[in-house]
Structure 1
């Protein structure tokens, strides 16, 4: 220690305090217990008032501490104003600095230099909880100048932090409730005038480093929990000037999987940000509680990665308030149902380049790739979709009651804009090796089909209602079938415009048998089906043209079904099959999609039922139409009454029927014997009478010969008739008929004579 009393200067080379313990307490009234460290002095009698004298000049002195070292200091503190009481502790506190102080008049100059500070084992406890721990904290090369309002450090660091952040259902952080509450404000102290007149404080740190932080995050509202590990933050050239850009570098790991990093600049005062961000395989599993609030699915796998440029612009600028430009990859997604069955999965949904912004809102993706998606679509027993079954219904009791409003508020224009969908534009959506597992559990037996290797592109996907997309997709159905989709539509308003061509080729009908059984009442023993389906929709009006080709169809056993067509399907199939075993049908359909009863499947099957009904009720007409032979003329082969001789026009009809049957080898034509009792009976009776007359008249006829006209001018014919009549009705009846005939003949003969006489008179 060196001192110069004359010059009022003192120099101390070293002050060293080692191994001390400090305990602080703040009671429930907010009072610190520092006063208890002082020993109270005995009371002294009041001194008589001093005589007025001239004020002495303020002392002038200097003090220099070349080295102050506080080492291995332990600190414990308790604040009882918090409930429960908040306890803080730290150990291995070390503080080293140089101090220079000078008093000149009323002005005090104080500087600190070469300041180093460190501590270890800092912990905050609230009851049984320890929401914050810090392994090490400190700074180096610190400098402080009270007169110049200047405070800087070269390096400020914190290492090994452990922090628990819990957000309650009200949106409040639990750690804030553990901190002491602010007491009632006391009387406002007068602000020293020097503060207003003095220069602003300049503070800064060449580098600020946080490393190896561990943060446990819990959101009680969504039940999301995750733990951030190895959180590191580095700030370069940090200062108290919040309008100055601040360089930062942030990196962290997530215990559940994934890493995040960001590097860039931020302006604290405005929030302006420019940063390069990278997310590497961030696990989706922590989002399970949030997903469970909406659907009954479990996240069995999946992670998200992204790399790009993130920017934030302050209000009042022309730039988007938030913008991301870069890549995105949602990989390895796997969603399982509660029973463990896989519902949806894909290898990757990736965009190598995208732009997303808020204010204005926009998501623009040039190319979005969906690689190896695998989805399950099931029609349940009640004909509902499995996706609908997985939805979690909202609890009506949890819905907040409407708040009464005193008066109706005027509509705000912003509300309409908020209701608009977020603008989305995907220029090309590319599917690679997609797979769809389809099943219909409402059928008996249940049916399933799988579409593999679905590849193709959908262009110009947009949330705009009038935006039209083009589709080109190709896939494989089961083992040897093919699927192809071509056309266009407005994705968000398909009833406004749809023009789609869907083609299925060589699809095994045995696997599709339940559909045929459901509507036709038969199992399928064998067959391949190909479909060419045209869907054209304009303003909700459907006009469809479907071409159906079935090869080698063979029906199996009949199955009872309430929806089955009540038709002789075997006959219809035999009529429709050509000589190669192929059925080729055109099936136009139409309907209004705004009709609540409209169902495309019902429309198709109704059209098919009508077609089959016409075929089985008018088979030859159908055959003629199919083969171009004028089928309406083949409905019947006409014969003369009582004759089995085929007339030439009817022979032509039979020739056409023969050609048809040659092309329909599986079609069997049975012609049962038929006759008309009225028409054929009359002719046959006449033929028998004529044959008997010829016999009695002595006319000899060869087999199959007709008598020809009966000439009553021949005596033999008249005798034959009289004999036949007498045999059938008796001689007396013959005499009556003879007299009646003679009388009638006499009257008829007299009439011409009278007429002739009159003519002669004339």
Structure 2
């Protein structure tokens, strides 16, 4: 009996404890050892069946008591890129800590979720296919919607550490290569619950050697929204070269971006606002590796952009040390016009009336830039069409342009000033209406103290002379209304002097030195107005050609008709070219004494002019009216009278203070003029 009681006592007390202990041991064994194996097998099976890919997993750890899951060295190999990317996705460690009780209310809650050493690779190939294209699940059969409440996902704490994202795009002549990382993320209360706001405590991304991005704020997954503060420092911009390489011959080989502002997304509307700064920006031509544009610093102040309505505003765009390089090549093309690649015919979309109507109805971007400011800008202009090459350097360029907008009544004010070469000055002031068609413009430009020797390549090419010395002062006003440009050019040249003769097949045969001498006053200055008019919508109109034509015509008129020019310049009669004498005498006809005074004034005001005096005498001076026979005069007598007349003019001019070295008496001549106007013919010459 006692033995039976002992047996019952053992069965009553010892057996349940052993069962519990055995169950716990079995649970422990299953949880720590079996569950990881099942998980690894199921993950591999799921990936293989759904995505036709094989994953690599080094180890899975699971704690059945704390419900902590750890996956070590997970990788999805890339079998489509031809070895460019070894993996699509890999990470060193994934840690998850699941809470049990929320499962009873259809909520998957992780107390903590973290990644360490994750690498994500995204590469695009031709036809926009990427290394994830094949990694897509099979089409599942449509299932009837569940009548129950949906499951929600909650991550109380989410973190990434020492992770990387590698983006490549091989659809461009220059492939895109944008490595992001290492990056770190800290977020909390991440949930798919409708209306829940997750806290993005920090997302820090390293870019290149020195660049970085820092994002902080709030994010909602359902419905999607974001209120993020973004700080970018030294964000490298050279990856944009790849996106330009399809359509341009440009390379952005240097440049970084700083940004401090906010990004908002709500109800499908994206907006960004803040201040941005671009530093050490450099564009070069990939055709010949020449510089196109350099900017030391560009500030974009109070920037705002919104997608709905499409709107862009900017308080100010400030360029510090902007350097532009303009090159006119030997074939007459500008370097800027060769920067765009031609669009292949296969890529030009056909335009129909329907598409055109749709485009016109499509609302455009409403934009406004209040001011563009230049600080210490520079423009280098090179003309390789002529030899020697012409080089002009405009620097210390400061001023404002703006505002700019798509308002058709927007008036853009221009106020700029700068230096030309070492001592020259440049100023401009005016306005134009950018959206009015045709263009409405009014612009005043002034150049002062410009060294004319800079233009020797042009003077040698077009005029056949070097420029020995001289300075240019130029006041220009241009108005443009209804495609008609009207230019008023007030030109002043100080001490302008032509130098040595230059052999050039393009030079003119006009007496340029005479034209210069006729124009230059006793102060060594040349002043003239050069008007210009033309129809800008004419295919034959060229501003440079119009200027050259106007200048050429002026020189022709001066050089070929000097007395006409002088008559207008000094307010005298054109007949001053001939000093008339009484018949057979060395005595002026009445009124001709004043011509000597006019010639004296001309020579005083035009010190580079020389005067050749040709005395003449005609037969008609010896005609006796009513006589049957006319006297016979020897030719020597005609010449003698002509010579004395010329000498008289020379002596009178010398007495009035004109240097005898500038007065040349020509041999007397018999005048065969049928109208009988004889006397002293004045001929202006230049050295």
Q: TM-score over 0.5 for the alignment?
A: yes
Provide the C-alpha distance between the structure 2 equivalents of 1:162 and 1:569, rounded to a whole number of angstroms. Answer: 75
How far apart, in 1, do the equivalents of 2:334 and 2:199 lie?
Answer: 53
Distance 2:160 2:13 in 1: 43
Alignment of 1:296 with 2:238, yes or no, is: no
Could you say if the C-alpha distance between residues 514 and 422 of structure 1 is closer, same or farther in structure 2, counting changes exceeding 3 Å?
A: farther
Q: In the alignment, what sits opposite 1:220?
A: 170
- What per-residue deviation string (whole Å, max 9, x for no partner) do you get for residues 704-729 of structure 1? xxxxxxxxxxxxxxxxxxxxxxxxxx
- Superimposed CA distance per residue, residues 288-319 of structure 1 (whole angstroms, 9 cap, x where no aligned partner): 2222222223323111111111112215xxxx
Give 1:660 shift. Answer: 1.5
- Any conservation in 1 of the 2:50–2:138 contact (CA below 8 Å)? no
The verdict on how the C-alpha distance between 1:562 and 1:547 changes in structure 2, with shifts beyond 3 A counting, is farther
Question: Counterpart of 1:670 in 2: which secondary structure?
Answer: strand
CA distance in 2, matches of 1:303, 1:666: 59
Query: How far off is 1:545 after superposition?
Result: 0.7
Contact 2:99 2:108 in 1 (8 A): yes
* Structure 1 range deviating more: 580-589 or 10-19: 10-19
Q: Which runs of 5 or more residues in structure 1 are unaligned?
A: 27-31, 35-74, 99-113, 316-320, 693-762
Q: Is the 8 A contact 1:148 1:199 kept in 2?
A: no
Q: 1:557: how far off?
A: 2.9
Secondary structure of residue in 1 paired with 2:580? coil
Is the 8 Å Cα contact of residues 411 and 432 (structure 2) preserved in structure 1?
A: yes
Structure 1 counterpart of 2:91, from 134, 149, 153: 134
Structure 1 residue 437 displacement after superposition? 0.6
Deviations 1:311-346 (A, max 9, x none): 12215xxxxx22111101121011223444322101
Which of the numbers 290, 310, 316 marks the counterpart of 1:367?
316
Asked whether the 8 Å contact 1:323–1:358 carries over to 2, the reply is yes
1:392 matched to 2:392: no
Instruction: Give me the whole-angstrom Cα distance separating, in 2, the residues matched to 1:355 and 1:653.
Output: 75
Q: Tell me what 1:642 maps to.
A: 584
Matched, 1:679 2:627: no
Q: Decide whether aligned partners of structure 1 residues 393 and 689 sit closer, same or farther in structure 2, where only a CA change above 3 A counts.
A: closer
2-side partners of 1:430 and 1:122: how far apart?
54
Look up the SS of the partner of 2:240 in the other structure: helix
Question: In structure 2, what is the equivalent of residue 123 of structure 1?
Answer: 75
CA 1:412–1:630 in structure 2 vs 1: closer, same or farther (change >3 Å)? closer
> Secondary structure of 1:671's match?
strand
CA contact 1:25–1:79 (8 Å) conserved in 2: no
Other structure's SS at 2:552 match: helix
CA 290–209 in structure 1, closer or farther in 2 if over 3 Å, else same: same
In the alignment, what sits opposite 1:581? 524
- Trace 1:265-414 onto structure 2 (pairs within 5 A): 265-315=218-268, 321-338=269-286, 339-396=288-345, 398-399=346-347, 410=354, 414=358
Which moves more between the two structures, 9-18 or 335-344? 9-18
Higher-Rg member (1/2): 1
**Residue 455, structure 1, aligned to residue 398, structure 2:** yes
- In structure 2, the partner of 1:427 is 370
Residue 553 of structure 1: aligned partner: 496
Q: 1:612 aligns with which of 551, 555, 562?
A: 555
In structure 2, C-alpha distance between the alignment counterparts of 1:528 and 1:441, rounded to whole Å:
23
* Structure 2 residue ranges without an equivalent (≥5): 1-10, 634-687
Secondary structure of 1:596's aligned partner: coil
Q: CA deviation at 1:499?
A: 0.7
Match of 1:97 among 20, 41, 64: 64
Q: CA RMSD in A?
A: 3.4
- From the superposition, tell whether residues 361 and 631 of structure 1 become closer, same or farther in structure 2 (CA, over 3 Å): farther
Q: Contact 1:541/1:593 (CA < 8 Å) preserved in 2?
A: yes
TM-score (normalised: structure 2): 0.81
**TM-score, with normalisation over the residues of structure 1?**
0.73
Aligned to 1:45: none
Equivalent in 141, 158, 161 of residue 208 of structure 1:
158
Seen in structure 2, the aligned counterparts of structure 1 residues 183 and 546 have a Cα distance that, compared at 3 Å, is closer
- After superposition, give the CA deviation of every residue in 1:679-734 in whole Å (9 maximum; x if it has no partner): 23536999x98999xxxxxxxxxxxxxxxxxxxxxxxxxxxxxxxxxxxxxxxxxx
Structure-1 separation of matches of 2:370 and 2:381: 29
Partner of 1:87: 55
Distance 2:206 2:272 in 1: 21
Is the contact between residue 419 and residue 426 of structure 2 (CA under 8 Å) also seen in structure 1? yes
Cα 1:637–1:423, aligned 2, differ >3 Å: closer, same or farther?
Answer: farther
How many residue pairs are counted as aligned between the two chains?
A: 609
